[in-house]
Each structure stands twice: as C-alpha cells, then as structure tokens.
C-alpha cells in the first residue's frame, strides 16, 4: 500500500515561462491535474511543458496512472502545444471517452485552469496551477491520508 501511495503521489517536474490560457496572462509552463473523483481521489499530477507527452491510463507505463476499470489502458494524452501556448488533450480511442467540462472530446482540445477532465464514467480531474489554494489544500489532504 505504501508503495502504491508513493506511486500515486509521484509527480513530474515543473517549470517554465510560456503563458497558458486561464491564467490571466501569467507566464507559466506548469499545470496540475488534481483528481477530484474516482479511485485516485486526492492525487496530484504535475505537468511540465518540456516533458513531452503524458499518456493517461491504467497501464503502469503511462505517465499518469489511473486506477479505474472505466479508464482504458491508454486512455488520453496531454502535451504542451508551443504554437497555442497551452496544454492540449486528446482521447486515444478509449472505450468510455474523455470529456472536458461535460463535453465529449472529438478532437484535440486546449486545457484552461478550472477545466474538469472526466475519463470514462468515474474519474474526474481538475486543471489547476501549482500555487492555487486548491492545489495546496489537495496536497495537504493527500499527505494526511
């Protein structure tokens, strides 16, 4: 269990300077995905623009591992799009779909702070910034668990 918790708590390095939509013009290249609902509730995954593509899914090889039977082995992918200056998400042909704010993804879509990313029917993640009070609260709750 401790090893599983360490795996869920593990995050990917942050940093950078590009502007991201939803930040009020603040120069950023790091964002968080905070799991709000599902088996990984409380987990925080940090995204770094320099890291390339993050695959989200049940496989241990995924950059973001989600423990949920409704999530495909390789469910969705997130990467930083330098031309748009933001992170974008794409469904990888998952069985149960990827939704942004309740709308099923049909193509690549940009992510903004506050967006809710739903994988399948049960896992919900919120896009956040590392220094938002919500992110601090989520970290403290995860440590206390």
- Quote the pLDDT of residue 20: 42
**What gap in Å lies between CA 110 and CA 17, rounded to an integer?**
18
pTM score, two decimals? 0.74
Report whether CATH 2.60.200.20 matches the domain 2-144.
Answer: yes
- pLDDT of 82 over the 80 cut: yes
Residue 46's SS3 state is: strand
pLDDT band at 145 (very low <50, low <70, confident <90, very high): low
**What gap in Å lies between CA 119 and CA 70, rounded to an integer?**
8
- Quote the pLDDT of residue 137: 59
Neighbour count for residue 79 (Cβ, 10 Å): 17
pLDDT band at 138 (very low <50, low <70, confident <90, very high): low
**pLDDT digits over 5-57, tens only?**
333 333 323 333 334 444 443 335 689 999 999 998 888 899 998 888 999 99
- pLDDT of 103 over the 60 cut: yes
- Quote the pLDDT of residue 24: 44
Could you tell me the residue ranges of all domains in the chain? 2-144
pLDDT band at 130 (very low <50, low <70, confident <90, very high): confident
**pLDDT digits over 53-79, tens only?**
999 999 999 999 999 999 999 999 999
- Quote the pLDDT of residue 13: 30
Residue of 139 and 66 predicted with greater confidence: 66
- pLDDT of 107 over the 90 cut: yes
Q: Does residue 32 contact residue 22 with C-beta atoms inside 8 Å?
A: no
């Amino acid at each position: 269990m401790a090893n599983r918790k360490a795996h869920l708590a593990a995050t990917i390095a942050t940093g950078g300077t590009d502007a991201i939509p939803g930040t009020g013009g603040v120069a950023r290249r790091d964002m968080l995905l905070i799991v709000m609902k599902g088996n990984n509730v409380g987990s925080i995954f940090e995204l770094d623009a320099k890291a390339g593509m993050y695959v989200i899914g049940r496989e241990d090889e995924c950059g973001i591992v989600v423990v949920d039977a409704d999530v495909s082995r390789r469910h969705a992918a997130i990467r930083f799009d330098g031309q748009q200056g933001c992170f974008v998400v794409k469904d990888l042909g998952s069985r149960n779909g990827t939704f942004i704010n309740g709308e099923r993804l049909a193509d690549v879509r940009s992510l903004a702070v506050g967006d809710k990313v739903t994988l399948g029917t049960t896992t919900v993640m919120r896009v956040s910034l590392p220094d938002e009070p919500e992110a601090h609260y989520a970290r403290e709750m995860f440590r206390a668990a």
